[in-house]
Amino acid sequence: MDDPIHVIDPEGDAIICLRRPSRPFAPWDYNGDRGAGSSTEAVRSGGSNTGESAGGGNLSGSRPRKKIKKENPESENLVDEVHPVGSSHGQSGRDPGPQTSRDAERVEENCHRFQVSAKQLKVLSPVFKEALSGVRRLPSSGVGVEITTGPFYLESFSLLMTIFHCQPQNFPQRVSLEVLAQLAVMADHYRCEAWIQFFADRWIRHMEPGFPTTYCRDAMLWVWVSGFFKLPAEFEKSTALVVDESDRLVTNLGLPIPAAVIDQINRTRSESISGMIREMNSRRDYFLTGARGCCFECSSIMFGALTKNMHAIKLYPTQPGYPYTGMSRNELTRKVRSFAVPLCLFKSRSSRVCDMKPFPKIIEKAGIVKEIHLDIWER
Ligand SMILES: [Zn+2]
């Protein structure tokens, strides 16, 4: 596919080859497979302008190369051979030069190419700085270095590059949750959180309303974005939504959400559900033994009523176990609230009115959860 070069800086001395992702971003059906990591590597191009080694015309055998690897669950294990581009002054590096091989063409086909300033990359990102540290001196004009990085997504990477090159005139007024989530993944990868945070704060303030109300992909993107960009209210809201509405074990969708956050979400949900089921069983036992209820008739009726209620929502005679797949905390709470409760028409033997509290409220109380606070992100 012929993809035109994306010129971020017309005088830029570096070409970025951005690998094209081979799968959708944060797929909802993510199964937990992790790639080995993405890499950013820089190869000095054209020997004559670099002032590097004595001998140095042909760089193919001894190219200085710096490679930074960082675990990134979303990335794929693509480490391509990168060949030097022609470094004639004023050219953007489109000409692969005499050393073109099928491999080089394949790399180019699978890449988007950006003309950028190596200096800007180094200023904003320690990852680029380290990757470029093997290139001692760049030419005074023309393209001097080619960097392969990614895979990341074109729209969000273009935005990242406009941020790196301080081009606010090219910033959109609004960005989608999708792009914001991708920016966060790249900010994490390139370790430039502070820069991206500065702009992300503004975009988040102007985001269209429409926070999800069900457990869905957007809910998980919010967990990621609000955690990464340190938004306590949004983080509590999105994690509470996932805890309440998820009906299965939650995964990170391949996003670098800390394991402690995912574990806490899953633990909070399952403890709430198991707490409610446990309380139902206890109440049932209390009525069975007569430990609750003002008299024999009272406990017998309550025992029967609770057993029938549990049977109606498939919690009697058998019960599901962890991880309670197919059952959400909110759904179970709604069902418990709608339990039919008979009135106690009996008086206790001491002639006092029955003061037994309604069991649905007690069961619901057993499932109450605490909010998940943002400080868990750093743990
Ligand atoms: Zn009673």
pLDDT for residue 206: 83
Give the distance (Å) from ligand 1 centre to CA of residue 348: 7
Do strands 14-19 and 145-149 pair parallel, antiparallel, or not at all (unpaired)?
parallel
At residue 160, φ and ψ (nearest 5 deg) are -60, -40
| Res. 41 pLDDT band, cuts 50 70 90 | low
In the predicted model, what is the mean pLDDT of residues 212-229? 96
pLDDT for residue 151: 93
Distances from the Cα of 174 to the Cαs of 6, 161, 201, in angstroms?
21, 17, 11
| Helical residues (DSSP H) of the chain, grouped into ranges | 102-109, 118-124, 126-132, 154-164, 177-190, 193-205, 217-228, 232-245, 259-289, 296-312, 329-337, 359-366
Give the distance (Å) from ligand 1 centre to CA of residue 367: 25
Residues contacting 238, CB < 8 A, separation 6+: 211, 219, 222, 223, 226
Cβ-count burial 315-329 (b if 16+ within 10 Å, e if not):
bbeeeeeebbeebbb
- The encoded tokens of residue 214 equal 């069900």
pLDDT for residue 97: 35
Number of H helices, E strands in the chain: 12, 6
pLDDT, tens digit, 9 for 90 and up, residues 319-377: 999 999 999 999 999 999 999 988 877 765 566 667 778 899 999 999 999 999 999 99
Q: How far apart are CA 45 and CA 116, in angstroms?
A: 14
User: Whose CA is closest to 121, among 228, 204, 41?
Assistant: 41
In the predicted model, what is the mean pLDDT of residues 182-208? 90
pLDDT for residue 252: 96
pLDDT, tens digit, 9 for 90 and up, residues 141-153: 666 788 999 899 9
Q: How far apart are CA 7 and CA 143, in angstroms?
A: 12
| Res. 317 pLDDT band, cuts 50 70 90 | very high
DSSP 143-203: --EEEEE----HHHHHHHHHHHTT-GGG--S---HHHHHHHHHHHHHHT-HHHHHHHHHHH
Give the distance (Å) from ligand 1 centre to CA of residue 3: 78
Q: How far apart are CA 22 and CA 25, in angstroms?
A: 9
Give the distance (Å) from ligand 1 centre to CA of residue 347: 6
At residue 262, φ and ψ (nearest 5 deg) are -60, -45
Q: How many CB atoms lie within 10 A of CB 186?
A: 22
Give the distance (Å) from ligand 1 centre to CA of residue 301: 9
pLDDT for residue 226: 95
In the chain, % helix, strand, coil (3-state, to 5) comes to 40, 10, 50
Give the distance (Å) from ligand 1 centre to CA of residue 368: 26
**Alpha carbon 153 to its chain's center:** 15
Res. 201: pLDDT tops 80? yes
pLDDT, tens digit, 9 for 90 and up, residues 237-295: 999 999 999 999 999 999 999 999 999 999 999 999 999 999 999 999 999 999 998 88
Residues contacting 102, CB < 8 A, separation 6+: none
> Which pTM was predicted?
0.81
**Cα atoms in the 13 Å half-sphere on the side-chain side of 263:** 6
- More confident call, 350 vs 302: 302
Give the distance (Å) from ligand 1 centre to CA of residue 352: 9
Res. 104: pLDDT tops 70? no
pLDDT for residue 129: 87
- Average pLDDT of the chain is 81
Res. 68: pLDDT tops 50? no
In the predicted model, what is the mean pLDDT of residues 49-75? 37
Distances from the Cα of 260 to the Cαs of 90, 163, 228, 236, 378, in angstroms?
50, 31, 14, 15, 9
| Res. 190 pLDDT band, cuts 50 70 90 | very high
pLDDT for residue 65: 43
Give the distance (Å) from ligand 1 centre to CA of residue 345: 7
Give the distance (Å) from ligand 1 centre to CA of residue 296: 9
Give the distance (Å) from ligand 1 centre to CA of residue 55: 98
Give the three-state DSSP class for 318: coil
Every domain of the chain and the residues it spans? 6-154, 213-379
Give the distance (Å) from ligand 1 centre to CA of residue 304: 13
What H or E segment, with its residue span, contains residue 14?
strand 14-19
Residues contacting 274, CB < 8 A, separation 6+: 322, 324
Res. 26: pLDDT tops 90? yes
Give the distance (Å) from ligand 1 centre to CA of residue 330: 30
At residue 151, φ and ψ (nearest 5 deg) are -80, 135
